[in-house]
Structure 1
Amino acid sequence: MQKSEVESLLAEKLGLTKIAARDLLNVILDQMTLEMSRGNRISLPGFGVFEVRAFAPRTGRNPQTGEPIEIPAGHNVQFKPGKGLKDLVAQSLAQ
């Protein structure tokens, strides 16, 4: 599903114009991005948790040459699905 499809679905479900739905989605995504850029956790019960995690520096390999390279420490966003989402996906895909 693409962002434009989510916007159309929001417009239909909430009785909004497509422009209002796009603005609503952008506000939500902007706020989530801002919170994660501050290192904050976002918990959406039944759906999941978005969390910023730090990772340590490590040695990797250049896939073309096999040469070792240093990968610096950094941060990454991780998503952990909630029980409701996990159960629904497992049930839907089992059919």
Structure 2
Amino acid sequence: MNKQDLVDAVATKTGDSKVATGETIDAVIAAITGELTKGKTVQLIGFGSFSTGARAARVGRNPATGAEIQIPAAKTVKFTAGKAFKDAVNGV
């Protein structure tokens, strides 16, 4: 499912227009992104939590040449599924 498929599915379920549904989904994504950018956690009860983590700088190897390269430190985004979501996926 891509974003347009999601918009179509939600619009069908809610009866709203596809344009309004697309704007709502964009607003939700922007709100989650904004909070994670600030280093905060977004918790959606029953679905899961989005949070940030840190990956330390490290030395890696270029697979083509075997030369060592420096991989810089980076922030990562983590998603932890909630119990209700896990149960739904597992058919419990």
Letter in 1 for 2:2: Q
- Contiguous gaps of at least 5 residues in structure 2: none
The separation in 2 between residues aligned to 1:21 and 1:28, in whole angstroms, is 11
Count of matched residue positions in the alignment of Structure 1 and Structure 2: 92
Question: Which SS does the other structure have where 2:90 is aligned?
Answer: helix
1:37 CA drift (Å): 1.0
Which has the higher mean CA deviation after the structures are superposed, 3-12 or 79-88? 79-88
The separation in 2 between residues aligned to 1:61 and 1:83, in whole angstroms, is 39
TM-score (normalised: structure 2): 0.90
The separation in 2 between residues aligned to 1:78 and 1:35, in whole angstroms, is 13
Letter in 1 for 2:10: L
Q: Percent identity?
A: 38
TM-score (normalised: structure 1): 0.88
The separation in 2 between residues aligned to 1:62 and 1:91, in whole angstroms, is 43
Aligned twin of 1:34: 34
1:88 CA drift (Å): 2.1
Aligned twin of 2:74: 74
- Contiguous gaps of at least 5 residues in structure 1: none
The separation in 2 between residues aligned to 1:15 and 1:33, in whole angstroms, is 27
1:13 CA drift (Å): 1.3
